[in-house]
């Protein structure tokens, strides 16, 4: 046996020592204890997702690119061997990880509405906190600040790794999604982080208004779906489009996020495209174009160079929504409790 | 320091913009250091009154002053135990007390909290969700007393305790009140439960304060009399009267000395006084210490 030495003992402050300075840290302990399961689930989710995305961007992309090289080298006739498994695995993992990233805001909003706020009001434990020296305003601040930080870090990491994985496959993997696809655009930029934060704010407000965890859960799902749908529909109009004019023979061209397309007449008027006539290669369409006095096709769209402006404007709007919802949440809480009556009666 | 624990003036609370008034025109003053019983039937507004004083609800009209300031500002000095004793079910007993220590820095009295919990032979490592209703009440009281409140608001605190625990915890409360001068306000619809321990009464009925004041003074202000049926009881205030045959028995607030031939009943009990007022909602309210004196 080794000699026993007295270990250096950390001097723990006596519990309840008056004037304890570590108040914020101690408040944090209470919050972490309350939401430990959610914290664990979120951490595991983000770590697993990050691992999958790293796997996707590294080995899976390489294997898929190699398989596409094999495929492209195949003679046009006759049997040819290529690693189809690698291509399919890349496609699946890429799809499912992107979908998971798109789902994160739903999870955040559901948790915020049902567990973070709704359950506390339903079971009355919020009142317990409010009578234990934590004013409702501070309670809500603590309840929002920590999750907001963790949600930002988690979704930003997932979005960043998703973007890196997509970039790794760019020009190498033939089935890689274009930049403007939903999976790429919405799941690998700041937009998903902003939706998650707006979802957190929306869930919190609904939890406070509905005061029932189940109702808040359902409401939060609807609110997040509305946020996604709203930003999806608004996005094409958030930045000035580029108009590309192409010949009648070529058809409308310009790849990206399309906003409008049609025919241009000699006078500069814009017309809709007649049904089944995408090009003047078809003689009957050519005759129709002549009758309409059309001289070319046009397309208003966002080219790849609009990626970041669109991301930033959309994120800005969503963050403004999140701030608005948060302000509203605080106002509702202050109106309902006695926190806002500052002066003496 | 202030000598008034709670003062209310024209206090009213309505839930929703068009909801019914849970509390209306509430005016009373509770001196500090008293043990006050808030009694009244179910749904009378007792819980609303306590929640307003605890800063959990915002009043719709009027004012309420707690320990000389607003309920929101007095929060750190007020303890509150709600009717359903909400606690976090996922925490253990020890973690719940940790929470009290974490959220009340500088005020928390761990020995007191531990003593109350220990009285129920609770395992500190038990989860709250595994406790019985009475054990939960014990933990909730430990949390409320552990923060060393100057004012303790208890909403139906003893409802789910067995008689032994009720007696013991009532003793703990009274000892605390005696030792630290804590003002205690506890509501109940069982008057007998509070009669021995309380020295102040707040009778709430239909959302209004019907009686407020020192219990002894209130009892002294009322007399039960038995007179012939045709006697005119004026100018005394009649709370309740009943005619049986040629005899009229009544509970009155004498406005002056009573005629010698009015046979006065024996000592009035608090329960009789309360029941008489509850049975007769038209009886005028009596709030002697209402807003006189040095109300804040």
Q: Is the pLDDT of residue B295 over 80?
A: no
Has domain B4-215 been given CATH number 3.20.20.30? no
Work out the minimum CA distance from A69 to partner chain B, whole angstroms: 56
- Domain interval for residue A314: 37-72+83-237+306-338
CA–CA dist A84, B25 (Å, integer): 80
**Cα separation, A133 vs B73, whole angstroms:** 10
Q: Judge if A255 and A270 occupy the same domain.
A: yes
In percent, how much of chain B has pLDDT > 70?
96
Residues A101 and A150 in one domain: yes
Residue B1 pLDDT grade (very low, low, confident, very high; cuts 50, 70, 90): low
User: Measuring CA to CA, which residue among A2, A270, A229, B85 is closest to residue A262?
Assistant: A270
A18 has pLDDT over 50? no
Same-domain status, A157 and A196? yes
In this structure, the answer to whether residues A207 and A332 fall within a common structural domain is yes
CA distance B56 to chain A (A): 5
The residue of chain A with its CA nearest to that of B142 is A132
Phi, psi of B105 (to 5 degrees): -60, 135
Q: Are residue A195 and residue A96 in the same domain, yes or no?
A: yes
In this prediction, residue A339 has a pLDDT band, given cuts at 50, 70 and 90, of low
B106–A18 C-beta distance less than 8 A:
yes
Q: Give me the torsion for CA of A247, A248, A249, A251, rounded to 10°.
A: 80
Interatomic CA distance for residues A341 and A339, integer angstroms:
6
pLDDT at A207: 94
DSSP characters over B122-141: --TTSBGGGS-HHHHHHHHH
**SS3 call for B232:** coil
Work out the angle at residue A155's Cα, subtended by the Cα atoms of residues A149 and A161, and round it to the nearest 5 degrees.
Answer: 130
- From residue A263, alpha-carbon distances to A255, B59, B94 in Å are 17, 65, 75
User: Do A166 and A297 share a domain, yes or no?
Assistant: no
Whether residue A19 has pLDDT greater than 50: no
Residue-level pLDDT at B291: 37
Is A197 in the same domain as A300? no
Count of CA atoms in the C-beta half-sphere (13 A) of B244: 4
Pair (A67, A145) in one structural domain: yes
Q: Give strand pairing partners of B38.
A: B187, B202
CA distance A131 to A339: 12
pLDDT at residue A135 tops 90: no
Residue A22 lies in a domain: no
Domain contains A24: no
**CA torsion, points A113, A116, A122, A128, in degrees to nearest 10?**
-150
Indicate the SS3 state at residue B68. Answer: coil
Q: Write out residues 39-78 of B within 8 Å (CB-CB) of A.
A: 51-52, 54-59, 63-65, 69-73, 75-76, 78
* Torsion region of A124: left, alpha or beta (phi above 0 gives left; psi -120 to 50 gives alpha): left
Q: Mean pLDDT over residues A287-308, rounded?
A: 90
Angle between helices A36-55 and A136-169 (to 10 degrees): 10
pLDDT (average), residues B6-23: 89
Say whether pLDDT at A106 is over 80.
Answer: yes
Q: What is the mean pLDDT of chain B?
A: 87
Of the candidates B83, B79, B141, B137, the one whose C-alpha atom is nearest the C-alpha of residue B115 is: B141
Whether A111 has a pLDDT exceeding 90, the answer reads yes
Q: Is there a domain that residue A264 lies in?
A: yes
Secondary structure class of B31 (helix, strand, coil)? strand
What pLDDT shows up at residue A345? 34
Read off the pLDDT of each residue in B60-64 and give the average, rounded to a whole number. Answer: 92
C-alpha distance from B238 to closest chain A C-alpha (Å): 35
> Do residues A93 and A182 share a domain?
yes
A178 and A326 assigned to the same domain: yes
Q: Model confidence over A150-198: pLDDT tens digits?
A: 999 999 999 999 999 999 988 888 888 899 999 899 999 999 999 999 9
**Given pLDDT bands bounded at 50, 70 and 90, which one contains residue B31?**
very high
Q: Would you report the helix, strand and coil content of chain A in percent, each value rounded to 5? A: 65, 10, 25
Q: Where are the domains of chain B?
A: 4-215, 223-267
Instruction: Report the mean per-residue pLDDT for chain A.
Output: 87
Q: Helices A307-336 & A136-169, crossing angle to 10 degrees? A: 160
Q: How far is CA A39 from CA A31, A33, A45, A151, in A?
A: 10, 9, 10, 10
N- to C-terminal Cα separation, chain A: 72
Percentage above 90 pLDDT, chain A: 56
Do A163 and A275 sit in the same domain of this protein? no
- Residues of chain B neighbouring A342 (CB-CB closer than 8 A): 70, 72-73
Interface test mutation site (partner A, options B69, B88, B149, B296, max chain A beta carbons within 10 A): B88
**Chain B CA closest to residue A137:** B72
- The count of domains in chain A is 2
Is the confidence at residue A266, as pLDDT, over 50? yes
Q: Span A138-150, mean pLDDT?
A: 92
**Could you tell me if residue A284 is inside a domain?**
yes
Report the distance separating Cα A337 and Cα B71, nearest Å. Answer: 10
Interface check A32 vs B, CB under 8 A: no
- Asked whether the beta carbons of residue A27 and residue B103 sit closer than 8 angstroms, the reply is yes
In a domain, A208, yes or no: yes
Based on the domain organization, do A115 and A250 belong to the same domain?
A: no
Q: How confident is the model at residue A233 (pLDDT cuts 50, 70, 90)?
A: very high
Candidates B293, B180, B276, B290; CA nearest to B237 is B276
Contact B26, B290 (CB under 8 A): no
Asked if residue B142 has pLDDT above 90, the reply is yes
In the numeric block, which tokens belong to residue A225? 């779906």
**Per-residue pLDDT tens over the stretch B228-275:** 888 888 888 889 988 888 888 899 998 888 887 887 777 888 889 999
The pLDDT-based confidence of A121 (bands split at 50, 70, 90) is: very high
The predicted structure's pLDDT at residue B8? 92
Q: Which helix (H) or strand (E) holds B6?
A: strand B4-14
Alpha helices, DSSP H only, in chain B? 46-53, 93-103, 110-118, 133-146, 163-180, 192-195, 215-220, 270-279
Sorted by sequence, the CB contacts under 8 Å of residue B148 that are 6+ apart come out as B107, B108, B109, B112, B180
Check residues B98 and B159 and name the one with the higher pLDDT.
B98
Does pLDDT of A21 surpass 80?
no
**Of A51-60, A141-150, A245-254, B129-138, where does mean pLDDT reach its minimum?**
A245-254
Please give the pLDDT value at position A309. 95
Residue A331 lies in a domain: yes
Work out the average pLDDT over A112-140: 90
3-state SS of B79-121? EEECCCCCCCCCCEHHHHHHHHHHHCCCCCCHHHHHHHHHCCC
Question: What's the pLDDT tens digit per position in A54-85?
Answer: 999 999 999 998 888 888 888 877 778 888 88
Contact A299, A243 (CB under 8 A): yes
């Amino acid at each position: 046996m080794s000699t026993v030495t007295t270990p250096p003992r950390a001097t723990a402050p006596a519990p309840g020592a008056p004037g304890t300075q570590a108040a914020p840290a101690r408040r944090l302990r209470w919050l972490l204890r309350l939401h430990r399961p959610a914290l664990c689930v979120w951490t595991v989710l983000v770590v697993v997702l990050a691992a999958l995305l790293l796997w996707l961007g590294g080995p899976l992309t390489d294997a898929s690119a190699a398989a596409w090289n094999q495929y492209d080298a195949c003679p046009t006739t006759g049997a040819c061997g290529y690693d189809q498994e690698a291509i399919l695995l890349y496609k699946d993992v890429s799809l499912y990880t992107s979908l998971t990233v798109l789902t994160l805001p739903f999870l955040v909003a559901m948790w915020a509405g049902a567990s973070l706020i709704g359950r506390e009001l339903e079971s009355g434990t919020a009142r317990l906190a409010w009578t234990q020296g934590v004013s409702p305003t501070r309670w809500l601040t603590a309840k929002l600040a920590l999750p907001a930080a963790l949600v930002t870090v988690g979704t930003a990491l997932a979005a960043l790794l998703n973007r890196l994985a997509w970039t790794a496959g760019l020009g190498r993997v033939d089935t890689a999604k274009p930049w403007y696809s939903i999976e790429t655009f919405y799941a690998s930029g700041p937009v998903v982080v902003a939706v998650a934060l707006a979802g957190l704010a929306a869930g919190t407000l609904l939890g406070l208004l509905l005061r029932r965890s189940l109702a808040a859960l359902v409401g939060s799902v609807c609110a997040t779906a509305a946020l996604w749908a709203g930003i999806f529909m608004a996005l094409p109009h958030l930045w000035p489009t580029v108009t590309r004019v192409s010949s009648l023979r070529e058809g409308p061209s310009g790849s990206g996020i399309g906003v409008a397309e049609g025919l241009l007449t000699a006078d500069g008027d814009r017309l809709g495209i007649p049904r089944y006539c995408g090009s003047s290669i078809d003689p009957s369409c050519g005759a129709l174009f002549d009758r309409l006095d059309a001289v070319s096709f046009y397309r208003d769209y966002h080219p790849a160079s609009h990626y970041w402006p669109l991301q930033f404007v959309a994120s800005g709007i969503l963050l403004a929504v999140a701030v608005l919802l948060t302000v509203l949440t605080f106002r509702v809480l202050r109106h309902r409790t006695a926190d806002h009556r500052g002066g003496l009666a | 320091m202030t000598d008034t624990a709670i003062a209310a003036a024209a206090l009213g609370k309505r839930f929703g913009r068009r909801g019914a008034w849970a509390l209306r025109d509430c005016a009373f003053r509770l001196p500090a250091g008293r043990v006050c019983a808030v009694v009244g039937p179910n749904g009378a507004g007792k819980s609303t009154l306590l929640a307003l004083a605890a800063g959990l609800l915002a009043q719709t009209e009027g004012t309420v002053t707690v320990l000389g300031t607003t309920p929101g500002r007095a929060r750190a000095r007020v303890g509150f135990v709600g009717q359903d004793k909400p606690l976090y079910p996922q925490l253990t007993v020890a973690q719940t007390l940790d929470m009290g220590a974490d959220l009340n820095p500088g005020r928390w009295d761990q020995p007191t909290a531990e003593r109350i919990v220990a009285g129920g032979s609770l395992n500190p490592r038990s989860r709250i969700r595994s406790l019985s209703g009475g054990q939960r009440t014990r933990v909730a009281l430990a949390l409320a007393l552990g923060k060393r409140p100057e004012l303790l608001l208890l909403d139906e605190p003893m409802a789910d305790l067995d008689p032994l625990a009720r007696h013991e915890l009532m003793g703990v409360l009274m000892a605390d009140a005696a030792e630290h001068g804590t003002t205690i306000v506890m509501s109940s619809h069982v008057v007998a439960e509070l009669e021995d321990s309380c020295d102040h009464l707040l009778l709430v009925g239909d959302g209004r304060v019907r009686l407020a004041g020192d219990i002894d003074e209130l009892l002294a202000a009322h007399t039960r009399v038995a007179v012939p049926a045709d006697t005119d009881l004026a100018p005394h205030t009649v709370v309740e009267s009943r005619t049986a045959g040629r005899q009229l028995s009544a509970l009155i607030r004498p406005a002056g000395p009573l005629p010698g031939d009015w046979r006065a009943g024996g000592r009035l009990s608090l329960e009789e006084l309360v029941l008489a007022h509850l049975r007769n909602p038209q009886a005028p309210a009596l709030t002697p210490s209402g807003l006189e004196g040095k109300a804040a």
